[in-house]
Amino acid sequence: MFSNKEKFKEVFLNRLEMLCGKSFAESTSRDHYQTLGSMIREYVSNDWITTNERYMATKGKQVYYLSIEYLLGKLLRQNLLNLGIEEIIQDGLEDLGIDLSELEELEPDAGLGNGGLGRLAACFLDSLASLNLPGHGHGIRYKHGLFEQKIVDGYQVELPEQWLRSGNVWEVRKADLAVSIPFWGKVEAREENGRLVFHHLHAETVTAVPYDMPVVGFHSDTVNTLRLWSAEPAQFPIFKDILNYKRRTEAISEFLYPDDTHDEGKILRLKQQYFLVSASVQSILRSYRKQHGSLLHLHEHICIHINDTHPVLVIPELMRILIDDEGLDWDQAWHITKNTIAYTNHTTLSEALEKWPVYIFQPLLPRIYMIVEEINERFCHDLWEETPGDWDRIASLAIIADHFVKMAHLAIVGSFSVNGVARLHTEILKEREMKPFFLLYPEKFNNKTNGIAHRRWLLKANPKLSELITDKIGPSWTSRPHELIDLLKYENDNSVLQQLKNIKQENKQKLADFIYQQMGVPVDTSAIFDIQVKRLHAYKRQLLNVLHIMYLYNQIKDDPNFQMVPRVFIFGAKASPGYYYAKKIIKLINAVADKVNHDPRVGDRLKVIFLENYRVSLAEKIFPAADISEQISTSSKEASGTGNMKFMINGALTLGTLDGANVEIHELVGDDNIFIFGLTAEEVLHYYRKGGYDSIEYYHHDQRIRQVVDQLVNGFFDGVHNEFEPIFDSLLEENDQYFVLKDFASYVDSHRKVGEAFTDVQRWQKMSLNNIAHAGYFSSDRTIKEYARDIWGIQPLW
């Protein structure tokens, strides 16, 4: 049906009538979207079935990626691109007077994630399918994704997200594959045929129904599966209060939790975690049994990868099935489990490491808790054998301690591989945060530097740049991203550099139009577009960025003739609803924006824009338009970052600290093509060991700092005196935990260098080209190949 556009149009018109029961003349854009979606799904289903059949027949090793989040964004255009039918459809629709971009706008973002971790999972799925690798995702089909953000009077307001309002054209409900998940109740041990058998009695059972989404590889025939589980009441519930039972059940997959490490221990979140894990394992084992029969060699044929600790209960769940259902003994079950599970850590922030109070865990998951206790006891026993009497060591490594279950400890003990997400991050895990575990199991630890789906973040998001690249180095970079390095041939080619500049200018104009349409603020596209988009967190230091803007504004105000390269500072960030401090920073950015953008003395020199509701589809508009990528976390705090890579591949220059993957970006492009500032991770850790640094001193000795910090509490920006007091206090009273004032001077200096570099157009474009050329390394194709080779041991299907 997509062989040529005439055929396409014929099928489209027929299908439209059948599906919507209307003539073409009466139909709406939404009808067109639904029709197109259903045609593509049907088109994909052949390859989908074939892929599954081949997996069944070849019996090769497969990987299952378990993640509590998938930040997929929109799927229409990416699917068309991957299937290689974008042009035929675009042209066919155009003949019918339909604009494909308009249909795309109608598609809601699938926003089932908070940020980096969820987007990484989505990028990995794309790469797995594009590399013909047998890898499937399991997750939760949240009815509401991450909240929608509105800015009202400068404050963040949260609204429920509604991506399923008009249905989801990409999913297939598989009611026949539903499984049940038990919560609560009690466990009874009975002696049966000479062995102890455990029975989970009086449980409240929830039904997990899978919804499958096809994951289409780029120009490959592989279609993998993302299976999202939805919670429904059991068909024949045995409870008296059915209405409440129904409500409790559906609540499990109702909302995605915002990343809020301050708000720990919500029972519903633990329910979500076990719900995902139990449903996924049951489904994985069902198809495994069909293929292989007994589970004795499970670890040789499958690998289950857990994206952070959120799905770590897969370890006791697998143990439970092997022991209780399969009748294996503990040692056999442990051998299989440990060799099946691999774990990725995404943070070094100790406050972000998950732990659950026993009083919540035990009653909710009684059998699982027993198994965790047993794992803990055996582990502590081994430690004792190794270092008898060293209670401190045992207490610090134990899985259960101080009435908490430590999920990261369980993950490390119960898996065969533990990886960090950038070189520096992995080193910090090995040398500091997880050092005792590294000493115990050095062979488990490894690094897998993150990557991004370059086909979404370059090919799809920046078609003009992609076209130029293909024109210069041929089309194969789309499947072999390291070939981007061939662009270096053109680093002194003025015509190519000029074309790069024109494309950037066009992309900036598009973003400027969008900003004007959204906010009514005109921005000058010859200015530097300096952008920081990411979740709002103290460690990511959006505050450093704002303080610098305030400083620039003070200079303009003090000297109306002050000369500077014009700048447009753009922010996008959601704050967790309960993260009070983060919300204050949003208000501060908006207060500064309001003052700066309305001061006639400023003119075009400075504009500040806070774009509301940052999400995947907005990110796709932003990255291609950036000149400067702000990656300014306190060194050692950002595990990797992936936005940094998306900016880089679109030709933006990084202004950043030596943190996360910035270190590797710096190494690849060299000193001349990046702006590095601030303390190194080692220096930061050194200060932490000393108990911090003296922020007051910096306040007193640097007049620029004093002025901006005072402006937080003297009503300068908003006429209110105590609005930003918590921020003021974080810097002075609480001694600036994130080294904002310490790094200020160095940051200002780097910005000065940015200004200088930007005035030399040729030099700038050459730097930009260098960044694009080296960005191939950060394709998630490279990352996934490393996982496949070093951890999973899986091979391409064809």
92, 111, 115, 135: residue in contact with ligand 26Q (rule CB under 6 A) = 115
Question: According to the binding rule CB under 6 A, does residue 120 interact with ligand 26Q?
Answer: yes
Is 646 labeled as catalytic in the residue annotation? Answer: yes
Q: Which is nearer to ligand 26Q, 284 or 434 (CB)?
A: 434
Q: Is there binding between residue 641 and ligand 26Q (CB under 6 A)?
A: yes
Residue whose CB is less far from ligand 26Q, 572 or 641:
641
Torsion of CA 93, 95, 97, 103, to 10 degrees: 10
Which of these ranges, 252-260, 517-525, 547-555, 646-654, lies near ligand 26Q under the rule CB under 6 A? 252-260
Supply angle C-alpha 190, 192, 198, rounded to 5.
40
| Phi, then psi, of 255 in degrees rounded to 5 | -125, 145
Could you say which of 86, 148, 620, 638 contacts ligand 26Q (CB under 6 A)? 638
Question: Given the rule CB under 6 A, which of 508-516, 640-648, 662-670, 717-725 is the region that contacts ligand 26Q?
Answer: 640-648
Q: Which of residues 164-203 bind ligand 26Q (CB under 6 A)?
A: none
Nearest Cα residue to 9 out of 68, 87, 86, 88: 88
Virtual CA dihedral for 503, 508, 511, 517, nearest 10 degrees? -120
**Contacting residue, 639, 652, 674, 794, with ligand 26Q by CB under 6 A:** 639
Quote the least distance from Cβ 257 to ligand 26Q, whole Å.
Answer: 4
- Residue 643 Cβ vs ligand 26Q, minimum distance, rounded to whole Å: 8
User: Residue 108: which residues within 8 A CB-CB, separation 6 or more?
Assistant: 74, 162, 163, 165, 166
Asked if 260 is part of the footprint of ligand 26Q (rule: CB under 6 A), the reply reads yes
- Cβ-in-10-Å burial (0-12, 13-18, 19+) of 581 comes to middle
Q: Which is nearer to ligand 26Q, 200 or 540 (CB)?
A: 540
> What is the size of the binding site for ligand 26Q (CB under 6 A)?
20
Nearer to ligand 26Q, 115 or 656 (CB): 115
Smallest distance from the beta carbon of 211 to ligand 26Q, in angstroms?
A: 22
534 is catalytic: yes
User: Is 114 a binder of ligand 26Q (CB under 6 A)?
Assistant: yes
* The one catalytic residue among 535, 537, 587, 607: 535
CB of 721 to ligand 26Q, least distance (A): 34
Nearest to 712 by CA among 740, 745, 742, 747: 740
Residue at shortest CB range from ligand 26Q: 116
Q: Which helix (H) or strand (E) covers residue 188, if one does?
A: strand 186-192
Q: Could you give the string, one character per residue 264-303, with x where binding to ligand 26Q holds by CB under 6 A and - elsewhere?
A: -----x----------------------------------
State whether residue 35 is helix, strand or coil. helix
**Residue 558, exposed/middle/buried by CB under 10 A (0-12, 13-18, 19+)?**
exposed
Q: Determine the Cα–Cα distance for residues 281 and 314; give it in Å rounded to an integer.
A: 7
Q: How far apart are CA 124 and CA 120, in angstroms?
A: 6
**How many angstroms separate the CA atoms of 93 and 40, rounded?**
14
Q: How far is the CB of 776 from ligand 26Q (least distance, A)?
A: 18
Only one of the segments 109-117, 227-235, 317-325, 491-499 lies at the binding site for ligand 26Q (rule: CB under 6 A); that segment is 109-117
d(CA 592, CA 584): 12
Q: What is the Cα–Cα distance from 659 to 424, expressed in whole angstroms?
A: 7
Residue 298's nearest CA partner among 306, 308, 307, 289 is 289
Judge whether 464 counts as a catalytic residue.
no
Q: Is residue 117 near ligand 26Q by the rule CB under 6 A?
A: yes
d(CA 205, CA 367) in angstroms, rounded, equals 14
Here's the x/- map for ligand 26Q, 762-781, by CB under 6 A: it reads as --------------------
Q: Measured from the CB atom, is 137 or 233 closer to ligand 26Q?
A: 137
Looking only at residues 565 through 624 of this chain, which bind ligand 26Q when binding is defined by CB under 6 A? none
Among 86, 148, 161, 259, binds ligand 26Q (CB under 6 A): 259
* Nearest to ligand 26Q of 347, 634 (CB atom): 347
Catalytic pick from 646, 666, 742, 766?
646
**Binders in 658-677 for ligand 26Q, by CB under 6 A:** 660
* Choices 115-123, 197-205, 466-474, 664-672 (CB under 6 A): range interacting with ligand 26Q: 115-123
Query: Is residue 437 within 8 Å of 466, Cβ to Cβ?
Result: no
Nearer to ligand 26Q, 77 or 666 (CB): 666
Contact 261, 244 (CB under 8 A): no
Contact 273, 311 (CB under 8 A): yes
Name which of 261 and 287 has its Cβ closer to ligand 26Q: 261
DSSP states along 62-75 = EEEEE-S-EEEE--
Region from 134-142, 477-485, 632-640, 763-771 binding ligand 26Q, contact rule CB under 6 A: 632-640
Q: Does 116 bind ligand 26Q (CB under 6 A)?
A: yes
Minimum CB separation of residue 533 from ligand 26Q in Å reads 13
Give yes or no for residue 421 binding ligand 26Q (CB under 6 A): yes
In angstroms, what CA-CA distances link 467 with 380, 461, 473, 500, 652?
59, 12, 10, 11, 18
Answer whether 417's CB lies under 8 Å from 429's CB: no
**How many other CB atoms are found less than 10 A from the CB of residue 698?**
22
CB of 640 to ligand 26Q, least distance (A): 4
CA distance 479 to 130: 8
CB of 659 to ligand 26Q, least distance (A): 9
Residue 167: Cβ within 10 Å count: 10
Q: Least separation, in Å, of the C-beta of 548 and ligand 26Q?
A: 22
Q: How far apart are CA 80 and CA 72, in angstroms?
A: 15
The answer to whether the beta carbons of residues 472 and 500 sit under 8 Å apart is no
777: amino acid identity, one letter: Y
Q: CB of residue 660 vs ligand 26Q: minimum separation in angstroms?
A: 5
DSSP assignment letter at 477:
G
CB closer to ligand 26Q out of 586 and 639 = 639
Judged by CB under 6 A, the stretch of 91-99, 274-282, 326-334, 636-644 that binds ligand 26Q is 636-644
Nearer to ligand 26Q, 107 or 638 (CB): 638
Secondary structure of residue 124 in the 3-state scheme:
helix
The secondary element (H helix, E strand) that includes residue 258 is none
Of the residues 5, 141, 269, 346, only one is catalytic, namely 346
Q: How far is the CB of 508 from ligand 26Q (least distance, A)?
A: 26
Amino acid letter, residue 44: V
- Report d(CA 101, CA 90) in Å as an integer: 9
- Which residue type occupies 553? Y
Do 104 and 174 contact (CB within 8 A), yes or no? no
Q: Which helix (H) or strand (E) holds 398?
A: none
Is-catalytic flag, 540? yes
Residue 567 appears among annotated catalytic residues: no
Site for ligand 26Q in 339-398 (CB under 6 A): 346-347
Q: Using DSSP, how many helices (H) and how many strands (E) does the chain show?
A: 32, 25
Q: Is 450 in the site for ligand 26Q (CB under 6 A)?
A: yes
Is position 595 annotated as part of the catalytic site? no
Residue list 477-516, contact with ligand 26Q (CB under 6 A): none
Q: Based on CB atoms, which residue is closest to ligand 26Q, 302 or 661?
A: 661
To ligand 26Q, the closest distance from the beta carbon of 540 in angstroms equals 8
Query: Which CB atom, from 507 or from 640, has the smaller least distance to ligand 26Q?
Result: 640
Q: Which residue type, as a one-letter code, is found at position 154?
A: G
Residue 145 interacting with ligand 26Q (CB under 6 A): no
Compute the least distance from the CB of residue 112 to ligand 26Q, in Å. Answer: 11
Which spans of this chain sit near ligand 26Q (rule: CB under 6 A)? 114-117, 120, 257, 259-261, 269, 346-347, 421, 450, 638-642, 660
| Residues carrying an active site annotation | 346, 534-535, 540, 642, 646
